[in-house]
Amino acid sequence: MILVIYRLAANVPVPGINSEVLRSMMSQLSETGSFLAFLDPAKGGLSAAGLKAALTAQVKLDAREPMERPGAARGLGVGWCLGWSVNATRGGDIFHHSGSNQTGFRCFSQFDPARGTGLVILTNGLSGGSLWVRLVSRVGDM
């Protein structure tokens, strides 16, 4: 990840990443001064075209096994767009991201722009990872 950030900052091409889209998005972010304002088109933030570009998979995961989201809508393909994993499904793209640290914090979030739904799970325990996998497997495709 550090190598990718360095290459982007140094204007060195990164295979699979559309640097023009990323550069455009980052310049819009610096002009608005706030990430939340950046997402709100009514406040001069990200335009519909900019949001579409930000949520378009810039890196396709073809060379290795895809990271499968545990929900019922199984992915047809997986890619990455600005930190979110994108599962292409028959019903449209579902975006998700998970994380953890060594103290036991586990989290998962996903959203489906076509359906207007989202889910955020935050846990504070070492078994939190298995908890969110079970929850998303059960109710994750709301």
**How much is the pTM?**
0.53
| Per-residue confidence (pLDDT) for residue 50, from 0 to 100 | 72
pLDDT digits (tens, 9 = 90+) for 26-60: 676 556 555 555 555 566 556 777 777 777 776 66
Q: Tokens 């994108």 sit at which residue?
A: 86
CA distance 100 to 123: 9
Low-confidence ranges of the chain (pLDDT < 70): 1-17, 19, 22-23, 25-26, 28-46, 58-78, 80, 140-142
